[in-house]
Amino acid sequence: MVTASHNPKDDNGYKVYWQNGAQIISPHDKKIQSYILNNLEPLESSWNVDEIYSSSYYEDPREDIMQLYYQDLKETVLYPEVNRDTTLKFTYTAMHGVGYEYMSAAFEAANLKPFITVEEQKLPDPEFPTVKFPNPEEGKSALNLSIKLANESNSSIILANDPDADRLACAMKTKSGDWHVFSGNELGALLGWWMIHTYQVLHPDVDMSDAYMLASTVSSKILASMAKKKGFNFEETLTGFKWMGNKAIELMEENKDILFAYEEAIGFMCGSKVLDKDGISAGVRVAELAAYLETINLTLLEKLQEIYQEYGHHVSDNSYWICHDSDYPTGILERKYIITGVRDLTTGYDNTKPDNKATLPISKSSQMITFTFKNGLVTTLRTSGTEPKIKYYNELCGAPGEDLTKLKSTLKEMVSAIVTEFLQPEINGLIAREE
């Protein structure tokens, strides 16, 4: 699949899937790369596209796959009558991508009323004329047209896909009239709670010991906190759904149930039928959750606060630096706070594991280092695999009932120190990106 996804229009990338339904990992990626490098000159016969349609390999399974996809979605809708009767209005944007047709059919399968559509962004357009970055993860700057339409139509919830519809953003109108754009970690907490609720309602006599949830290593540890209380299992993987998809397959081969997987960059895998992030099913699940919460007089934001009250506030501060200089920092400067754990997935060092060896896969071609501080802060610095960015992720988890203001203050102070001491002195030509 070739797509600019959530990137600027000039930055096309591609996804390749293996026969197991998940994105490729080593050794397949390296073998494909070697074939490309050894065959840079196309064969003369490659230009004869008519031969595609007479090939024994040519098959278009789209209609069959779509019927199976929507049938599965329909069968896993928990409260179809609640969806039908909700008074909530949803505004949706496809962000100049392919999502509109699929989200429309998904809402119908879930017994939800049609959503209100941002017409200017409804159809695929590779120029992305209304947004510089067609990435709903950017927050309000990417949702301006959605917010305007939602205000005009008295809609209280916005759902947004990126152009290839594998990511989902959500915003909710607050009682003050402002819009809260949920972070990927906040949506991960909400969807995680909903997938547990769904599983327990559909399987009332089954304990949670064979159930699993997954998240990438730079995502919130909220699912790990839930797992300790609810009795299911939590697995951490490297960033990217190629790792979560393949880990899910591993577990499914052991007859485990995969309930949910997510990454903080608004990627969500609800269930195990699609072994990748899927913005369509995630959008329907958020709409379902919102409709259910309406019946008990709660909003998405209020439910999120309930989750944090039960499992402890997990406050995050994530951002990135745009870097046009490939000489990113390699040294660690003097520290203000005590570090108890260091994991370097470039070299394979992890002082929290036996023999100081990391258990997650390592890569000499990418940089990712995680620091665990004495007060519980977990910080990860990594280079992006698709963009010229150095990303940083910080999460501080408080005990249930701990003062949130104090927790946020500590997080802010520590993030400031981390950026100042770990990044700024050694990086030239960077542009700070404030979230």
DSSP code for 357: B
Specify the DSSP element, H or E, that contains 262: strand 257-263
Residue 331 in 3-state DSSP? coil
Q: Strands 211-216, 257-263: parallel, antiparallel or unpaired by DSSP?
A: parallel
Nearest-CA neighbor of 238 among 256, 268, 263, 265?
263
Strands, sheet with 267-270, edge to edge from the N-terminal-most edge strand: 233-237, 211-216, 257-263, 267-270
Say which amino acid occupies 318.
N
Known catalytic residue: 5? yes
CA atoms of 271 and 77, how far apart (whole Å): 12
CA atoms of 192 and 24, how far apart (whole Å): 26
Residue 340 in 3-state DSSP? strand
For 41-123, strand residue ranges (E) read 90-93, 116-117
| Nearest 10 degrees: Cα torsion 33, 36, 37, 41 | -170
Active-site choice (5, 146, 183, 316): 5
Neighbours of 243 (CB within 10 A): 23
CA distances from 36 to 16, 26, 32, 33, 173 (A): 13, 16, 6, 5, 48
Question: Are 5 and 13 a contacting pair, CB within 8 Å?
Answer: yes
- Give bridge partners of residue 267 from the DSSP assignment: 167, 263
Q: Which residues are catalytic?
A: 5
